[in-house]
Structure 1
Amino acid sequence: MTKVFETNGEAETKALAYRLAQLVKPGMTILLEGELGAGKTTFTKGFAEGLGIERIIKSPTYTLIREYTQGRLPLYHMDLYRLENTGAEEMGLDEYFDGEGICIVEWGSVVEEELPESHLLIQIDTSLIDINQRTLTISAVGAAYETVLKELEDERTD
């Protein structure tokens, strides 16, 4: 199942992520794909707010994983861009994927074969016409993720 959402500016992107955070269940994985500067970290900031996390969200580019545990669910924000030669297994990422927290994974395609089979994939694309506009194509793989995506879509049409 795939749904497309359009946002105009950071506030709308964060609001969409906030709503999604209120729908997710423990142990879910969200893969974020998009060019540098597309809004992956902005999305994660809104998502963290939706979980009730008050800490400042920073990109995990150089640390690989940032952990935020004070919200409704723990949030593990990962940037796997630099893992091409290492792999998720050697880093112990399966412990995060098998846990009760929410994993938001930037550049998951680098270790695609080691990611959970069921997940949400969010492709964030920038507009060629308006630098503030984003197209978020959200694909759900697995029944639980399809339910979450349907609920997110239903909220949009209310």
Structure 2
Amino acid sequence: MITEDDICNVHMMTEEEKYNLLKDVIIDYDRKEDNLIQILHMAQAIFGYLPTEVQHFIASQMDLSVSKVNSVLTFYSFFSTKPKGKYTISVCLGTACYVRGGKEVLNKLKDELGIDVGETTPDKRYSLTVMRCIGSCGLAPAMTINGKVYKQVNPNRIKRILGTLK
């Protein structure tokens, strides 16, 4: 049985150990296609993202086609085939945030980080995403960094906010 400690310690594991852990996950989920989404979640927790090699491994272990595995993971926005940065910055572009300057906040982040939405900086420090609503409409514009909400953000605060992460 996979424990929470196993998932928390993946950063100290070798690639071989990660694949062995993923194999145990697949076995724990009975290699059933109905459990593919849960297995993909666990695989992403283990590897940080779902590269082609991991997709092939899952497909072979579950006796599924790679196209089946890939079609499920690309359908859902919470899966990633690219490595993420240490800090995932998500800018809210829901209605309230958008009309109160969310787009300008996003543009400033793009300029500061030198990346576009869906990309990660070359040093793997930052990833940039957008969300449609984070439930903080009264605090608009808002963004999150690794889940922490930053309220009433404006482009002038971006450098300072990023500076707190260094």
Is the shorter-chain TM-score for this pair beyond 0.5, marking a shared fold? no
- Higher percent of residues as strand: 1
More contact order relative to length (CA 8 Å, sep ≥ 6): 1
- Higher percent of residues as helix: 2
Q: Which has the larger radius of gyration?
A: 2
